[in-house]
Structure 1
Amino acid sequence: MIRAAFLPLALLALSAPVQARDDLGVFSSWAAFRDPGVPRCYAIARPAASGRSADYRPFASIGTWPKRQIRGQIHFRLSRKLASSPRITLAVGDRRFSLVGGGGDAWARDRRMDAAIVAAMRSAGRMTISATDSRNRRFTDRYDLTGAATAMDAATVGCARR
C-alpha cells in the first residue's frame, strides 16, 4: 500500500524523463531517490500548496553525482517563469542567499554557497524562495524542512553504496 504522503513525491519523481529510480525513503515532506544509471542521488520536496496559478510544478532538490564528485548541489524548479533579470532570494531560517537562475530554475552561485545552504537547511524549520516572474510580479514558494536532513543523508548514503 502506498502511503498518502509518498504519493505526491512519487509523482514528482516520475514527472521527469522515464528512468529506473530506487526509492531511498520518504521522510515527512521530503523523499530521497537514486538513479543508478547516471549515477545520481537526490533529496526532493514540493513546496506548500499556495492556491495561486503556476507556470511549472515546483520542487527543491539537493543532488549528489559521485562520478562528478559533486555532493549537496541545490536546485529549485520555481512555480513561475522568471523575469529576464530576476532577483532570486532564498531564506532558510534567519539566513539569506542570493541565487542565480533563468527560465523556471534557480541554483546557488557556487559550491561554497551550496554547502552553506545545506548547512542552514539542516537546522531550520522552513525555507522560502522569492523571485520576480516574467510578468514582473514577486512570488514566493514555501517549504517545510521537516525530514530534509534525513532525506539528504539518505541520498548521500544511497550513492556511497554504489
Structure 2
Amino acid sequence: MKRLLALAAASLAGLGTGTALARDSLGVFGTWGAFRDPGVPRCYAIAMADKIVGRKQEFQPYFTVGYWPARNIRAAVHVRLGRRLSPGSKVIVSFPEANFALTTGQADAWPVDQTANAGILAQMRSARTMIVIARGADGRTFRDSYRLGGAASAMDAAALGCANR
C-alpha cells in the first residue's frame, strides 16, 4: 500500500494535476490501486512495473487507466516508461493473446486510437500479465512487466469513484 501511495503521489506531481495530498484511496487490489483526486476531478487505477534487479531506470515505470468526468474521458490508458525513448521509437503493449502499438512522448505512451485503448482494457481484464516493450534513447530495447491480478477491480473502483461527478 505504501508503494502505491508513493507512486500515486509521484504520478500526480509529474502530471501537474494538483497536489498529491488531495487524492483519496479507493482501494488496493493485488498490485493495483485505485485513487480519486477530487480537486481535478479525476480517478485512476495504477500499478508499478515489476522490479528488475540490476536494470537501469531513469523513472519509476507505471501504468494507469484514468477517468476525467469533466472532460468526458473514460478509461484512458497511459504508460510511464522506465527510460527515455529513442526518437521515433515504437512502444508495444504485449499480452499472450494480442499486441498493441502506442504513440509516444519522451518517456510516456498512449494508445494510438480508441480501438487500441479498448483492446488493451479488454486484455487487461483477462490476461495475467502484460509487457510494455520499447527502445530507449541509448538504442537498447527494454521491457516493463506488469502483473494484472487486481487490475480489473482497480479499474472498476476508479470508474465508480468518478461516476456521476
The alignment's TM-score, normalised by the length of structure 1, stands at 0.94
Measured in 2, the distance between the counterparts of 1:92 and 1:156 equals: 23
Measured in 1, the distance between the counterparts of 2:66 and 2:95 equals: 18
What SS is found at the alignment partner of 1:146?
A: coil
The sequence identity of aligned pairs, in percent, is: 45
Paired position in structure 1 for 2:27: 25
What SS is found at the alignment partner of 1:34?
A: strand
What SS is found at the alignment partner of 1:13?
A: helix
Measured in 1, the distance between the counterparts of 2:95 and 2:47 equals: 15
CA RMSD between the two structures: 1.0
State whether structure 2 residue 47 is matched by structure 1 residue 65. Answer: no
Measured in 1, the distance between the counterparts of 2:70 and 2:136 equals: 35
The within-5 A match list for 1:81-100 is 81-100=84-103
Q: State the AA in 1 paired with 2:106.
A: G
Unaligned runs of 5+ in 2: 14-18
Paired position in structure 1 for 2:162: 159
The within-5 A match list for 1:5-16 is 6-15=1-10, 16=12
Measured in 1, the distance between the counterparts of 2:163 and 2:66 equals: 13
Unaligned runs of 5+ in 1: 1-5
The alignment's TM-score, normalised by the length of structure 2, stands at 0.92
Residue 93 of structure 1 deviates from its aligned partner by 2.9
Q: State the AA in 1 paired with 2:159.
A: T
How many residue pairs align between the two structures?
Answer: 157
Measured in 1, the distance between the counterparts of 2:44 and 2:28 equals: 12
